[in-house]
Chain A
Amino acid sequence: MIEPSVLVVDDEVQFVETLVKRLDRRGVKVNSAHSGQEALDTLEGSGATKTDVVVLDVKMPGMDGLETLALIKEKHPLVEVIMLTGHATVESAIEGMKHGAYDYLMKPCDLDVLMEKLNAAAVKKREHEAKILEARATMISLRRGD
C-alpha cells in the first residue's frame, strides 16, 4: 500500500479541513490550499516530487480550477490532478480531463471512492516517475556506450 502525498485545493475552508483530517487518518500525507495561487505556491515550495496528487475544485473565486490545472500541468507535468466538481460543472471537469487531469469526482464525494482514485493516481504518477528514471538510466548507459 503506497502512501500518496496529496494537496487538497478548495475555497471552502471547512470542507478542506475535514477532508484533510479524514485523509490523514487513512495514512495519506495531506496538504491544503484555499486558492489556485496558494496551490501553485505550495507545489513550488514543497517541490513537485513531494506531491503525488492534487485534488482540485473546479469552481473557485479568482483563478478557477481549469486555469490552475493548466499552470500545474505546465510547471509540474508529472503531478496528477483529480478535479472536484459540483454537478453543473461536470463539463468543466471533462474539459479538465481533456487537458491532462487524471479523473474527476462530484461533490459531495464518497471518501472511499476518493481514496481509490487517489491511490490509482499516485500509483500512476510513481510508475511514470519510475519510467522516467529508467529511461534516464538507459540514456546514461547508452551515452556511456556500454
Chain B
Amino acid sequence: MTTPDTTDRSSTPRISVRSMVLGLALIVLAPLAITGAINLKQFQVVYRNKVENELAVMIERHSFIIDSFIQDRLSDVRVITREHPIERLSDADFLRQVLNLMREEYHGAFVDLGLVTESGVQIAYAGPFNLEMADYSSAMWFEQAFDDESYVSDVFAGLRGTPHFIVATQRRVGDETVILKATIDFEAFNAVVEGIRIGDTGFAFIINREGKFQTRPQFEVSLNQAPYAGVLDGSIRSDRIHVVDGENRLGEPSIFTFAPLKQGSWLLCYQQETADALGEVRRMVRVAIIALLIVAVGALVISYFVSRNLAYQFAEADRERTVMTHQVIETGRLASIGELAAGIAHEINNPVAIMVQEAGWIDDLLNDEDPTSEENLEEINRAVSQIRTQGDRCKEITYKLLSFARKTDPSVREVVLNDIVEEVIGLTSQKTRYANVQIVKNLEPDLPAIQASPTEMQQVLLNLVNNAVDAFETPGGTVTVVTRAEGDAVVLKVSDTGKGIPEANLGRIFDPFFTTKPVGQGTGLGLSICYGIVEKIGGTITVESEIDEGTTFTASFPREPIEEPQETKPNSEREGQ
C-alpha cells in the first residue's frame, strides 16, 4: 500500500456528446459527400456527352430528311422537265394537270408550276396566283437558275409578297433554254423543320449563309449573338455536324447544334437550353441529394445514439474510477497514517519507558525518607504515581498504534468467526449488563472458516462490540451480531440501535485518534486497529449509519486465504532473525 500518485487523479477532459456527434457525422458524411460529388460530376460529363451525341445524331437525321425533301422535289421537277416536250410544258392546262397530280402525290408541297423562257418571261403558269407572263428577268434566282442545271433558291418574298422558295431545272432544245420552276409551299417546308421539337426549349430552324431565316424559329433568335455570329462569319466550322455550348438570347446556358443543308448553303440550327437537355441529370442530382440527406440524417441519428452511449460509458468509467481513486486514497491515507503512527510510537516508547523508570526511582528513594521529615511527601507520592499512570496511558496508546500498523502476525490459522463471537460476548458480558444492553446473536451455523489470527479477530470484535455498546446515550438498547457466508466471503455485521454517527464523522471514523468519547475514555484507535487488521487479511470493513436509528459495521473476510500463509511466514521469519 503506497500513497497513490496524485497525477492519477487528474481528470481527463469530458467528451461532450455534441462534439462526438459532429465528429462521427463528419467521418461518415465527408467521404459520402466527396464520392457523391465526384460521381455526380462524372455522371454529368458522361451524360452530357451522351446527350450531345444524341442531339448530333438526331440533327443529322433531320438534315438528311430535309435535304432529301428538297432533292426529291427537285427530282420531281426534273423528271417533268425531261419527260415532256417544251410545247406541252408551255401549255398552262397541261401544267395545271401536272400540278394537281403532284399536289395529290406530295400533300400540297407544291404551290405552283411555271415555265420561264430565256428572256425571263413566264410563258405558262399553273397555280393560285395570277403570274402568267410575269417577268423574272431581274430576279436573283433567275440568273443562277441559268447557270446551273438545277437550282434551289433561298426563301424570299418575291413578286407574290409571301415567303416561299423555288426549285427549278432547265431544258435546252437547240439554242433555246427554258426553265421549269416549282414553288414549294413554305408552310409545308416550315412544318418539316418545326416538327423538330425536343423537351420544352429545343427547337430547330434553318438559316442561309447570309443569316436569313429560311424557316420560322418558334422562339426568338438573335443571330448577331454567339454562336450564330461565329457560324455565320466562318469562325465556327459548319461543314459538318457541330455541337457548341453557349447562351441563348435570354442568357440561359444552351446547347447549339448545326448541320449543313443544301451542300452547305443552308444551316439547320437546333438550340436547346442545357438545363432542359440535361433534365435527366438534374433529376439524378435531386435524387442523389435526397439520398445523401437521408443518409446524413441517419448518420446523425446513429452517431447521436452511439455518442450518447459512449459518453454514458465514459461517465460511468469516470465515476467508477473516482470511487476507486477514493478507495485507494482512503486505503493509502490510512496506511501512511499507520506507518507514521508506528514510527512515532516506536520513538516515544523509549522516552516513556525512561520516564516511568525515573518515577519508579523517585518512588524507591522516597521509601527511604522519614515520613515525618518531608512535609510534602504525600503530594510527591501522588505526583509520582500520576506520572506512572500517565506513562501507562502513553504505553497503551503506543501499543495500540503499533498494533494498528503491525504488518504480520505469525499465528494466522483457520478461525471460525462464530467461536470468536461467543468468546467476545462472554468477555463483554460484564460491561453489557452494566449498560443494560442486550446482545442478539444471529450466527450462521456451519460458517466457513477464515484465515486470520484469533487474537486479532477477538480484538476486531471486541472493538466493534464495545463501540456498539458505547453508542447508547441512555442505558438500554440492542446490539446485534450477525455472521453469514456470502459467496466467497464471510460477513460479520455488528449493529446497534444507538444514536448514530453524523455524516461528517463517517469518513473519519477509521482514522487513528479520531474519537467522540471524552478525553481519557477513548484513544480513537479502536476502529483504526479493526481497519488495519481487516485490511491485512484481505477483507473490507464499511460503516452505515443513520442518526437516531443506529449504526452497522460490516466486515467482510475472504473465505480462502489470499496468499496469506505464503506471505506471512517469510515475513515472520525475517523479523524473527
A residues adjacent to B (C-beta < 8 A):
12, 14-15, 18-19, 21-22, 25, 66, 86-88, 91-92, 94-95, 106-109, 111
A48 to B349, CA, bound (A): 32
For B346, B349, B353, B406, which residue has the most chain A Cβ atoms within 10 angstroms?
B353
Output the nearest chain B residue to A98 by Cβ-Cβ distance. Answer: B576
Instruction: Considering the complex, give the chain B residue whose CB is closest to the CB of A57.
Output: B350
- Name B410's closest neighbour in chain A (CB-CB): A91
Stretch at the interface among B56-64, B103-111, B358-366: B358-366
Q: Are B576 and A15 in contact (CB-based, < 8 A)?
A: no
Q: Check B577 against A66 for contact (C-beta < 8 Å).
A: yes
Which residue from chain B places its CB closest to the CB of A12 in the assembled complex? B350
Secondary structure at the A interface, as helix, strand, loop or mixed, is helix
Whether B354 and A86, one on each chain, are in contact in the complex, defined by CB atoms closer than 8 angstroms, is no
Q: Which of B352, B360, B402, B577 has the most CB of A within 10 A?
A: B360
- Asked if B170 is at the interface (CB within 8 A of a chain A CB), the reply is no
The smallest beta-carbon distance between B22 and chain A, in angstroms, is 61
Considering only residues 394-442 of chain B, those with a C-beta below 8 Å from chain A are 395, 398-399, 402-403, 405-406, 408, 410
- With A87-B399, A91-B410 known as contacts, the answer to whether A108 contacts B357 (CB < 8 A) is yes
The smallest beta-carbon distance between B357 and chain A, in angstroms, is 5
Residue numbers in B under 8 Å from A107 (CB-CB):
349-350, 353
Q: Are A88 and B353 in contact (CB under 8 A)?
A: no
Rounded to whole Å, the gap between the CB of A26 and the closest CB of chain B is 8
Given A25-B364, A92-B575, A108-B395, A19 and B346 touching (CB < 8 A)? Answer: no
Instruction: Give the Cβ gap from B356 to chain A, nearest Cβ, in Å.
Output: 4
B204 at interface by CB-CB < 8 Å: no
How many angstroms between the C-alpha atoms of A95 and B575 in the bound complex? 9
Question: B407's closest neighbor in chain A, by CB?
Answer: A88
Bound CA span A86–B358, Å:
18
Chain B contact residues: helix, strand, loop or mixed: helix
Q: Closest Cβ of chain B: how far from A137's Cβ, in Å?
A: 39
Beta-carbon nearest neighbor of A91 in chain B:
B575
In the complex, are the beta carbons of A92 and B402 less than 8 A apart?
Answer: no
Instruction: Say whether B357 contacts A87, CB under 8 Å.
Output: no
* Residues on A with beta carbons closer than 8 Å to the beta carbon of B452: none
0 or 1 for each of B530-568: is its CB under 8 Å from A? (1 = yes): 000000000000000000000000000000000000000
B576 touching A66, Cβ below 8 Å: yes
Known: A12-B350, A15-B350, A22-B357. A92 touches B364 (CB 8 A): no
Q: Which residue of B lies closest to A25 (CB)?
A: B364
Contact B572 A87 (CB under 8 A): no
Q: How far is the CB of B364 from chain A (nearest CB, A)?
A: 5
How far, in whole Å, are A92 and B410 apart by their CA atoms in the complex?
11
> B342 in the interface, Cβ–Cβ < 8 Å?
yes
Task: Give the distance in Å from the alpha carbon of A19 to the alpha carbon of B402 in the complex.
Answer: 25
List CB contacts (< 8 Å) of B301-358 with chain A. 342, 345-346, 349-350, 352-358
Chain A CB within 8 A of B524 CB: no
Q: Is B227 an interface residue (CB 8 A)?
A: no
Q: Knowing A86-B346, A87-B398, A88-B346, say if A15 contacts B353 (CB, 8 Å).
A: yes
What are the 8 tightest A-B residue pairs by CB atom distance, in nearest-first order? A108-B353, A95-B576, A108-B356, A107-B353, A87-B399, A87-B402, A88-B402, A18-B357
Query: In the assembly, what is the distance between CA of A111 and CA of B349, in Å?
Result: 17
A18-B361 contact given A88-B402, A91-B575, A108-B352, CB 8 Å threshold: yes
Nearest CB on A from B206, distance (A)? 120
> What distance in Å separates the Cβ of B394 from its nearest Cβ neighbour in chain A?
9
For the A-B complex with A15-B357, A22-B361, A86-B350 known, give 13 more contacts whose Cβ atoms are closer than 8 Å.
A12-B350, A12-B354, A15-B350, A15-B353, A15-B354, A18-B354, A66-B577, A87-B403, A91-B408, A107-B350, A108-B356, A108-B395, A109-B353
The smallest beta-carbon distance between B210 and chain A, in angstroms, is 124
Q: With A and B bound together, what is the CA distance between A71 and B364 in angstroms?
A: 35
- The answer to whether B349 touches A86, judged by C-beta atoms less than 8 angstroms apart, is yes
The CA of A111 and the CA of B71, in the complex, are separated in Å by 150
Q: How far is the CA of A94 from the CA of B355 in the complex (A)?
A: 26
Say which residue of B360, B364, B391, B406 sits within 8 Å of A88 (CB atoms).
Answer: B406
8 contacts between A and B (CB under 8 A): A19-B357, A87-B403, A88-B342, A88-B406, A91-B410, A107-B349, A108-B349, A108-B355
A19 to B357, CA, bound (A): 7
Which residues of chain B have C-beta atoms less than 8 A from A106's C-beta? 399
- How far is B350's CA from A14's CA once the two chains are assembled, in angstroms? 10
Q: Given contacts A87-B398, A91-B408, is CB(A22)–CB(B576) below 8 Å?
A: no
Alpha-carbon gap, A111 to B360, bound state (A): 8
Selected contact of B364 from candidates A14, A22, A86, A94, CB within 8 Å:
A22
Which residue on chain A has the smallest CB distance to residue B360? A111
For residue B409, which residue of chain A has the nearest CB?
A91
> Which residues of the partner chain A approach B391 to less than 8 Å between Cβ atoms?
108
Of A12, A22, A95, A108, most B-chain CB atoms within 10 Å: A108
Q: Which residue of B lies closest to A19 (CB)?
A: B357
A72 to B398 alpha-carbon distance, docked (Å): 31
Which residue of chain B lies nearest to A26 when distances are taken between CB atoms in the complex?
B364
Give the distance in Å from the alpha carbon of A107 to the alpha carbon of B361 in the complex: 16
CA distance A94 to B395 in the complex (A): 20
B349 lies within 8 A of A22 (CB): no
User: A12 to B349, alpha carbons, bound, how many Å?
Assistant: 12
Closest to B577 in A: A66
Q: State in angstroms the CA–CA spacing of A25 and B364 once bound together.
A: 8
Q: Complex formed: what's the CA distance from A94 to B345 in Å? A: 20
Q: How far is the CA of A88 from the CA of B343 in the complex (A)?
A: 10
Expressed in whole angstroms, the minimum distance between the Cβ of A83 and any Cβ of chain B is: 12
Closest CB in chain B relative to A121 CB, distance in Å: 20
Nearest CB of B to A47, in Å: 29
Inter-chain contacts of B406 with A (CB < 8 A): 88
With A and B bound together, what is the CA distance between A86 and B399 in angstroms?
8
Contacts of B345 in A (CB 8 A): 87-88
Look across to chain A and name the residue whose beta carbon is closest to the beta carbon of B396: A87
